[in-house]
Amino acid sequence: MTALAAGLPGLRLVTHLLVTAGVASLLVAKLIGPVGALVVGFAVLLSWWHEGARRRGAVSPRLEWALVGVAAVAICLDLVYLTSSPLDAMVHLLLFLMLVRLFRCRRRRDLRDVGFLSFFLLIAASSATFSIGFLVLFVAFLVLGTWMLMLHHIAGEAERSGAIAAPTLAVGPGLLRSALFRVSLGAALATFVISGALFFVIPRVGQAMLPFRAQLGRMVTGFSDRVELGAFGEIETDKTVVMRVYFPQETLEPTELPNLRWRGIVFDRFDGRTWAVGRPDRVLVRRGAPGDFQVAAPRGHGPVVRHEIFLDPVGTDIVFAAPRLLRLELPAGVVTIDDMGSVSVPLGNARQHYVADSELELPSGLDPVSRPAGRRLSPSDRARFLELPPLSPRIPQLAQQVTAGSRDPYEAALRLTQHLSTKYSYTLALKRETTLEPLEEFLFVRRSGNCEYFAAALAVMLRTLDVPTRVVSGFQRGEWNPYGRYFMVRLSDAHAWVEAYFEGIGWVTLDPSPRMEASMAAGPSALALYLDAARMRWYRYVINWSLHDQLVVAQRVRHAGDPRLGLAWLRDWRPPTWLLGAVGLIAAPLAGWWLRRLVRGGPVRGRPVARLPRFYARALRALARRGLAPEPAETARQFCARAATAAPGCGEPLARLTTQYERARFGAATLSPAELAELERCVSLLEQRRP
């Protein structure tokens, strides 16, 4: 009779749960879809039933082999023709092997193999996901895996020794109430703690950034080199958080920072329907000696803020950061910067984590005199940013009409911005109503649109007024998460705005869209914010934990100066005298107790005494001072009788000591506290009675 037939339902149950966790990890990693997960889950359930049916003889072995054969052919076809990546092929193969093992499970070792295959599923999932759901499955796997390994071990040992009933002895009645289950839970907890410690300590010497299969984000419309008007409308309803911006320095309150938005790609060419990157002058910048990229020099105006950005894959290689980007810390060897300030890195499909220093712009309503002067535009650049497609004459007329009476281009730009943001409304319903050009329809018919329409309208009208402009695509600020001190930026925060060039001032950000006010209405719940903060920490301290972080923490621990670690007070702390005294009072008895334990033969409460007990040794020393010592061949009782004759006063205490000595040393008796106190009294009597 096999171990399974002998009945190891606990081991089977744990193994099936482990398989479920493995399949769930594949689902989290999107290596299989919900339908695939359901099919596999059904197969796992079927295997449970199948085990019972097979034992009843209801399943023919030929049928089993036929099914295995069909599945093998299917998996071969899948490996050769269907799978899109080696990882998918490996996952399908693993699932096939696991299910075959489950259905053909004859021995205990088969269950163990199934458990190991489940672990490989987890490994496969780890290379394709960053989700915090992985942590949940990791913990589940840890608990179930520890339990399975213990049950497997106990069952195996019992099988080896031929004692079929041994698992019951070890496990006891009730699987969950058994002592072994408690041990396994404790072991799982300890393993989790040790794993955490090891995870943070193991040096991150690897340099590669790409996972085995990069998690491809959707190709988000609006962040490619060409963007059609209205394309943002598709993503502005998507509430998925794609970017988190953490502010490590707490000198400034991030919510009060001016003009905070996340600049991405910049477009200079407009053909009437599409904005595109026309003639970019791109340069490759290599990482500097300190390990960062110097993007621009500071102008000395506006606050400089450092922010840490966690960007999920959105199908673009653009680096998003607060304008104006000065410096970038990024785990890449080279970045590309074009002449419009767009920064890109050739890791667009991977999740990105980088630190940026930006010099924030002053609010656009500020007096232009106080604005810093920028680099002068060359004639070719000026022509480039003034280029216009064939337009309806109504558009320049509208621009002239709105800006009539303006003292300078800057004031004209502010008037146009004001006009658009107040006279037009923001909407995501971008249905075309006429056959007019999109911009003309927006300005004169629909009078509502999304941020792209507003930005395009402002940029085009300013160009008709001979003001160079460009359209910037990025994200607006997002929602502040007070639990993690970061901005949550969703896909729906995708935004477009305008940068206009003014002589003597430079490039100025203008945002005509009234969207900010529209989107301020509903915020996420406190629970959602808290969960997202947990997710942020997962990204920050697990997914993106790096050698740099390890060095920083090591340095901070060494200097005990990290306020987040709460150890800063250690640097200058001097313990008061009374505290030292109290610690000494507590530590001295403890040290004495330990020393007493270390001294061999010392009677420790609750433990049998094997060697010469200390109380008897003390009694012998006291009697030796009186000239009484046991003879080499004299027993304790003989010595007691002789000593009682020679020193009558010592007879009674020595008789008690001798009795307890014999109990403790030869009877392995445990002396109670009362008995020890009595012995102490007897020893004191012997020590006091000096001749």
Site for another protein (CB under 8 A): which residue of 198, 289, 297, 369? 198
Long-range contacts from 391-395, C-beta under 8 angstroms, 24+ separation: 391/272, 391/437, 391/439, 391/440, 391/460, 391/464, 392/436, 392/437, 392/440, 394/440, 394/443, 394/444, 395/439, 395/440, 395/443, 395/460, 395/461, 395/464
Residues 6+ apart with CB under 8 A from 80: none
- Minimum distance, C-beta of residue 42 to another protein, in the bound complex (Å): 28
Residue 112 binds another protein (CB under 8 A): yes
Number of residues that bind another protein (CB under 8 A): 57
Q: Which of 84, 161, 380, 645 binds another protein (CB under 8 A)?
A: 161
Position 133 contacts another protein (CB under 8 A): no
x/- mask, another protein, residues 520-549, rule CB under 8 A, reads ----------------------xxxx----
Do 459 and 270 form a contact (C-beta atoms < 8 A)?
Answer: yes
CB of 76 or CB of 163, closer to another protein: 163
Interface with another protein (CB under 8 A), residue from 129, 417, 519, 658: 129
Residue 599: other Cβ atoms inside 10 A:
12
Q: Which helix (H) or strand (E) holds 481?
A: strand 479-481
Single out the segment in contact with another protein by CB under 8 A; choices: 9-17, 45-53, 188-196, 390-398: 188-196
The phi, psi pair for 327, rounded to 5°, reads -145, 150
Q: Would you put residue 627 in left (φ > 0), alpha (ψ -120 to 50) or beta?
A: left
Residue 237, both tokens: 């309803």
Q: What phi, psi does 109 have (nearest 5°)?
A: -65, -25
Under DSSP, the state recorded for 242 is E
What tokens were used for 241? 């958080």
The stretch near another protein (CB under 8 A) out of 65-73, 196-204, 227-235, 280-288 is 196-204
Site for another protein contains 153 (CB under 8 A):
yes
> Among residues 152 and 261, whose Cβ is nearest to another protein?
152
* Selected binder of another protein within 55, 107, 177, 204 (CB under 8 A): 204
Among 3, 87, 105, 154, binds another protein (CB under 8 A): 154
**Cβ atoms of 510 and 463 closer than 8 Å:** no
Tell me which of 45, 73, 74, 190 binds another protein, using CB under 8 A.
190
Helix/strand/coil (H, E, C) string of 69-130? HHHHHHHHHHHHHHCCCHHHHHHHHHHHHHHHHHHCCCCHHHHHHHHHHHHHHHHHHHCCCC
Phi, psi of 164 (to 5 degrees): -70, -30
Span from 160-168, 221-229, 235-243, 626-634 in contact with another protein (CB under 8 A): 160-168
Q: Rounded distance, CA 187 to CA 178, Å?
A: 14
Least separation in angstroms between CB 249 and another protein = 25
Smaller CB separation from another protein, 192 or 444: 192
Note whether 194 binds another protein by CB under 8 A: yes
> Residue 506 has which token pair?
């430079």
Q: Is 123 in the site for another protein (CB under 8 A)?
A: yes
Helix (H) or strand (E) holding 228: strand 226-228
Nearer to another protein, 298 or 346 (CB): 346
The one among 39, 46, 170, 355 contacting another protein by CB under 8 A: 170
Segment interacting with another protein, rule: CB under 8 A, options 33-41, 157-165, 322-330, 490-498: 157-165
Site residues for another protein, 599-658, by CB under 8 A, read 606-608
- Site residues (CB under 8 A) for another protein? 112, 116, 122-123, 126-127, 129-130, 134, 138, 142, 146, 149-150, 152-154, 156-158, 160-161, 163, 166-167, 169-170, 179-180, 183-184, 187, 190-192, 194-196, 198-199, 202, 204-212, 542-545, 606-608
